Amino acid sequence: MLNPSTTAGPSSKSQELEVALAAVELHLSSLGQALQDSNTAAIEKQATELHRSLATAVNRFAQAARQGGVPPALRQRLATASGRVAAQRESLARATAALDRAIDALMPGQGTALYGASGVADRGASSGVVQA
């Protein structure tokens, strides 16, 4: 006789992964729409929800990988979602840099600080001129 817990295991694990991944995809789409609408409240909310759903998905996928693997279709969807997150991050970084340049042009004495990947300022704080 088959043990119900063994027969339900893989299907149950795949279902948990599917639910976690669907949440990531939903919040990615919602964040994209909020960004398009320039809705700051929705952007904050969806960014927070996306962060939570990503953490949950990463934990579930890591656990599934340790316990026998992740179905290829779900692995591909996770990779696609990861690419979408990276694209949104890059888009936001570019928009932020453009806004900082515009602020510098309008208010040169205010000097917004731009930071590089290492966390060190990329340029002087008081003008748009790069100092060596």
Model pLDDT for residues 112-122, shown as the tens digit of each residue: 555 555 555 55
CA distance linking residue 122 with residue 23, whole number of Å: 36
Residue 118's pLDDT is 57
Are 95 and 114 in contact by the 8 Å Cβ rule? The answer is: no
In the chain, domain spans: 11-106
Are 16 and 60 in contact by the 8 Å Cβ rule? The answer is: yes
Taking residues 113-132, what's their average pLDDT?
51
Residue 10's pLDDT is 56
pLDDT single digits (tens) 17-40:
999 999 999 999 999 999 889 888
CA distance linking residue 35 with residue 10, whole number of Å: 37
Are 85 and 28 in contact by the 8 Å Cβ rule? The answer is: yes
Residue 132's pLDDT is 45
